[in-house]
A = this chain, B = another copy of it.
């Protein structure tokens, strides 16, 4: 019998771990993209960031930077919740096939959300956002039913 707990011998956990780290690395791509956008536009948030950086200014309202920051904030609203719920969901002992698709849909949905936010295209962004949210809600409901209030 395969392990049902938090070990890499449990295929559901091994999948969760892989997709969790993948989605965190995706979120860190947004961090690097923010830095890139700030340097290419010469727009920084703090006065100490522009010292010795000719032509750069400290402003909080450049539209390109703010777009990346809104996308990043949406990540913060969704990814930590997925990371926590996903781990608890692994411990409910779900069917590996169903669990794997939860993790895959969430990860793909967040990538779609990121790319369509940067490209400013709807309804793809709303679709990615909604699919990720529904996947997390599905896992949260299953964890709630397995737990005891």
User: Which residues in A have some Cβ–Cβ distance to B below 8 Å?
Assistant: 5-8, 11, 13-22, 24-25, 27-28, 31, 45-49, 51, 60, 66-67, 70, 72, 76-77, 79-81, 83-85, 87-88, 91-92, 120-122, 125, 133, 136-137, 140-141, 143-144, 146-149
Contact = CB atoms under 8 A, between A and B. Distances in A.
A148 B11 contact: yes
B84 A84 contact: yes
Contacts of A46: 67, 70, 120
Nearest to A15: B148
B8 A147 contact: yes
A133 B28 contact: yes
B120 A85 contact: no
A7 B90 CA distance: 10
A50 B77 CA distance: 22
Contacts of A144: 17-18, 21-22, 25
**Most central of A8, A79, A136 by chain B CB within 10 Å:** A8
